[in-house]
Amino acid sequence: MIKAFFNAFKIKELRKRLLFTAGIIILVRVAASIPCPGVDPAALADYFEKFGSSGAGGMFVSMFDMFTGGALQKFAIATLGIMPYISASIIMQLMVPVLPSLEKMSREGESGRQKITQYTRYLTVLICIVQGTMAAMAMINPGKIGLPVPETSLVFDGGVGFIFMTVTILTASTMIMMWLGERITERGLGNGVSIIITINIIARLPSALVQLVQMAMKGATDSGATFKPVHLLLLLVVFALVTAATILLTQGQRRIPIQMVRKSYGNEMQSNSTYLPLKVNFAGVMPIIFAGAIMMVPGFLFNFLKWYNMSAFFRYGGFGYMLAYGLMIMGFSYFWVANQFNPIQISDNLKKEGAFIPGIRPGNATADFLDKTMTRVTFAGSLFLTALAIFPMFLYNSFKIPFMVASFFGGTSLLIMVGVLLDTLSQMESHLTMRNYDGFLKKGKLKSRQSQSGVQ
C-alpha cells in the first residue's frame, strides 16, 4: 500500500490532481483560523474552555464545531463551513421527486441539471443568511439559544452593524468554499465538497487523541471517572472494530442476479449474466443528519418554554433521546429509499434491455420483488446504522468519554470519513491500474460508494 502512494506521484496527471487538492485544503484550513472582525478571541477561547461541552446546547456546539474543523471555537470566517451547501443539496434532492416542475427539469439533460444547481446555490445563500444571523446573535447573547451566559462580552460592539458584517462575511466564505469544492471535483481528486468536510473532521482528530493521552496519564476523565492506560488500549481496539464495521456497512451489497439475452449474428441468442447491487446502507449518512437536525429542536424548545421535565427527557445521551433518535434514523432510512429508489423504473429498464431476474416474471412481478427485497435490506442496514449512530452516545453517557473523543467512534463523522476516503482511494487506484501500477490491494479492488455495477 505504501508503494502505491509513492507510485501515485510518478504519474504526472495524478500528481497534479493531488497537489491541487492539497493546495485547496490548505486554503480551507487557513480560512478556519481567521477570526471574524468584531469578535474578542480571548473571551471566546475562555468561554469555550469553560462551557464548550456543557448541556445539550454545548453538545450541539461541539458537534457543529467538528464539521467546521474548529472554526466555530474561533468564530472564524469559515464558521458556517460547507454545511449550508450540503443542506441545500439535500433539500433539492428531496424536492426533485416531489415537485413535478423540478422532476421535469431533471430529465432535460445537462441544461436541466444546471438549472437545479443554480437553484441549489440560491438556496445556499438563503440558508447562509439565516444561519449567519443566528450565529451573530449567538455571539452577542449566547443565552438566546440555550447556551450559558458568558462572564464577559464575546464581541466588542454587538450592534446591527456587527450582525450585517458577520452575515456578509460568513455567506461569502461559504460560497467561496462551495466554489473551491467544485474546483476539486473538476481538477483535483475526489468529490470536492465531501473532501472539505472530511478534512474539517480529521482536523479535530489530533485534539481528540491528545485528550485521550492526557486522560490516560492523569488516570481520570474530565468528569472524574477512572481512565487508565489499559482503557486507552481497549478504546483503540474498539475504534478499529467500529471502523471495520463501518466499512462493511458502507460497502455492503445484496446482489440480485440478472440474465441478459441479446441476439447475435446468425439469429443465435446469447445470454450474459450480471447482477443488480442493492446497497445495504442505501441512504448513506443522510438519516443521521436529518434525525440529528430534528433532535436539536425539542431541547431548545422545551428550555425556551421552561418545560424542564420534557427537556430532561430529550437530554443528549439519555434514554429518551436515544430512543427517539434511533426511531427517526430508521424512519428516514426508509423515507430516503422511497424517494430515491424506484423499482418500477428499474423493472422497465430491465425489460427494455432484454434483461430479467431468473425465476421472476418481467414487469410488475419484478418491481414487487425488488421493492420487497430492498425493504428487507433497508431494515438490516437501518438497524446497523442506528447502532453505529447511538454508540458514541453510549460511550459518552455510560463511560464518561468526552464528546469530542466519543464522536469518532461512530455516527456522522466516522461514516463520512470512511465513505469519502474509500471514494478517493478508489479514484487513485483507477489511475494506478490504468498505467499498469499495482493498486492499494494485492487481491480484489476498492469499491467506490458512487460506482454502480450491474444494471441500473
Domain spanning 206-409: which CATH class is it, in words?
mainly alpha
pLDDT at 270: 59
C-alpha cell at 164: 450585517
- Residue 59 banded pLDDT, cuts 50, 70, 90: low
How is the chain split into domains, by residue range?
A: 14-203, 206-409
Rounded-to-integer distance, Cα 371 and Cα 242, Å: 30
Which is nearest to 66 in space by CA: 426, 407, 425, 419? 407
Which is nearest to 282 in space by CA: 361, 243, 338, 366? 338
- Residue 260 banded pLDDT, cuts 50, 70, 90: confident
- Residue 263 banded pLDDT, cuts 50, 70, 90: low
Main-chain dihedrals φ then ψ at residue 436, nearest 5 degrees: 65, 25
* DSSP characters over 149-218: PPSS-SBS--SHHHHHHHHHHHHHHHHHHHHHHHHHHHHSSS-HHHHHHHHHHHTTHHHHHHHHHHHHHH
Question: Roughly how many angstroms between the first and final C-alpha of the chain, as a whole number?
Answer: 32
pLDDT at 448: 52
Residue 62, pLDDT > 80, answer no
* Residue 7 CB contacts under 8 Å (≥ 6 apart), including other chains: 432, 437, 438
C-alpha cell at 410: 461512530
Yes or no: say if 406 and 242 are a contact pair by the CB < 8 Å rule.
Answer: no
Stretch 86-108: mean pLDDT: 83
pTM value is: 0.79
Residue 266, pLDDT > 60, answer no
Residue 240, pLDDT > 50, answer yes
Yes or no: say if 158 and 137 are a contact pair by the CB < 8 Å rule.
Answer: no
Residue 394, pLDDT > 60, answer yes
Helix (H, G, I), strand (E, B) or coil at 263: strand
Q: Which residue has the higher pLDDT, 53 or 431?
A: 431
14-203: CATH topology is Preprotein translocase SecY subunit (1.10.3370)
* Residue 118 CB contacts under 8 Å (≥ 6 apart), including other chains: none
Kindly tell me the sign of the dihedral angle through the C-alpha atoms of 436, 442, 447, 452: positive
- Residue 151 banded pLDDT, cuts 50, 70, 90: confident
Q: Compute CA distances 258 → 188, 269, 362, whole Å.
A: 36, 16, 11
- Same CATH topology for 14-203 and 206-409: the answer is yes
Q: Compute CA distances 219 → 214, 250, 409, whole Å.
A: 8, 36, 21
Which is nearest to 372 in space by CA: 364, 93, 359, 285? 364
